[in-house]
Structure formats: structure tokens, C-alpha cells
Amino acid sequence: MMITGKELGLHMKDHSAPLVELLQKHISLNLSRAKCLGLFIISMLNSMTVNMSLLCNRMPSGIKAASWYRRMQRFISEISISWRVLPVMLVMMTGFEQEQKWVLCLDRTNWKFAYYMTIFHFIIFGYWNIKDNSCIQRTN
């Protein structure tokens, strides 16, 4: 049984309008889909999780969590966003394209799928910004 956010006392307001407008500029989505994605992003940021049940309980609207869950399942199964376009869009949305403080991040992780061990290598561009770099010990 799913519990609604209202039953948990989570009365969040819907502040998704600016995000929805920004998403529609960069992704060709109708208003309903853009709002769904915007609320999903806001819910992830507020709850600090990617667990669908928890996210749907924290959606800032009066809709039941079970309805949000089905809506998000349909959204994820039907939407296709280019993984090549997504990083560029995120950089453009944040305004970081003018910055010079980019770093290359490397990561390796092992995941076990059934009987198979899979090794993933990630190469990611990151943005470096620590206020005046005072927490970094400099060595010569």
C-alpha cells in the first residue's frame, strides 16, 4: 500500500514553472511531459533519493502516490532523451559553458549482474569550484 505525501504531512508547493519553461526550451516535450519531468527532478532534489516509491510520495501536488508512480513508469518507458544531448543541455542550462574550471574525472566500479561481474569505466567532465580553494593543501 502506498501512502500519499499528504498523509505523511509533506505539504510541498509546486515551484516547477521556471524549470518546466527551461526544459521546454531544450527538450521538445509537451507541457504535461515537461511538468512531469520538472516535478520528478524537484522531487529527487528534495528527497535526495532515486527510489521511485519515495519520490512519488514527495511529489508537490494533491495527486496520490500510486497515480504518480504509474505516471512516472509510463514517462520513463516512453521518453527517449539523447545521452549525447543531455550533458550539453545541462551545461547550457547552468551557464557553465563560459567557465574555464573544467576537470576530467575518472572512475571505475564493479557491479555484479546475476553470475557476471561487470566493470564500468566512467570518464566525466566536471566543474571545479571551491571558494578560494582554501581547503586544498598546496604542495610544491
Render pLDDT for 85-118 as a digit per residue (tens, 0 to 9): 777 777 776 676 676 677 778 888 888 877 888 8
For residue 15, what are the domain limits? 7-78
User: Taking the complete model, does pTM exceed 0.75, yes or no?
Assistant: no
Q: Which whole-number Å values give the CA distances from 43 to 109, 121, 138, in the listed order?
A: 27, 29, 39
Looking at the structure of the chain, the number of domains it has is 1
Asked if residue 120 has pLDDT above 60, the reply is yes
Q: Which residues have a Cβ under 8 Å from the Cβ of 96 and sit 6 or more positions away?
A: 127
Position 90 in a domain: no
Position 67 in a domain: yes
Per the listing, cell 504518480 goes with: 68
Position 36 in a domain: yes
Q: Which three cell numbers stand for residue 62?
A: 494533491
Position 118 in a domain: no
- Residue 104's DSSP bridge partners are 125
Position 54 in a domain: yes
Model confidence at 133, in pLDDT bands (50, 70, 90)?
A: low
